[in-house]
Amino acid sequence: MKKCFLTLVVMAAVAVPAAAADLGFYVGAGLGITSVDVREFNPDYADLRFEEDAFGYKIFAGYRPLKYFAVEAGYTDFGNIKSFEGGNVEAYAESNIDISMWSGYAVGLIPVGDKVDFFGKLGYASYDVDNNVIRSGVPEDRSTSGSDLAWGLGMNFKFKKLGARIEADWLKIPDTGGVFMLSASLMYNF
């Protein structure tokens, strides 16, 4: 996770001279690395080994009517977190957790020159957690859905009509530690 963060910071430093957002509509898509403490989804997970990082993706669209403010909506698929434990049929356990969300944000922006923006976003998200567990050959569906706070921080860079973005997104899911994604995206400004 630290290597990915360092890579994104280096990408941002290289892109700083060439970048920021114009007023108007924009769309974007990106890839990211998701991190989640899945043991908090259910205490029964304490004995499972987890791949706690997964690759995910996002698509988003927004409108920036003012230099310091935008509104944004999007879809994020946080990826698939898998686990496995046990060496025989009696002790075998497996879990697959897929998390996705539809979100809407108010975005505050701080322009740095005419090429870069720092931003923070706060909004609400509707999420689905598809959570299937197989323990000793017996399947359980522990899926859930709901809505809660989502927020993020990042930087926008502008290359004429094209842009780039690096950001961190958090989604609060009740009774868990939530989910976190570090992503890099490409944007098009209309």
Torsional sign, CA 64, 70, 76, 78: positive
pLDDT of 51? 53
pLDDT of 125? 94
What averages of pLDDT result for each successive group of 10 residues across the chain (190 residues)? Answer: 47 40 87 77 55 85 95 94 62 75 96 92 92 75 84 93 94 75 95
DSSP type of residue 38: G
Q: Which domains does the chain have, with CATH numbers?
A: 2-189 (2.40.160.20)
pTM (whole model) above 0.85 = no
pLDDT of 45? 55
pLDDT of 91? 54
pLDDT of 66? 94
Distances (CA, A) of 12 to 24, 112, 148, 156, 167: 23, 13, 30, 9, 10
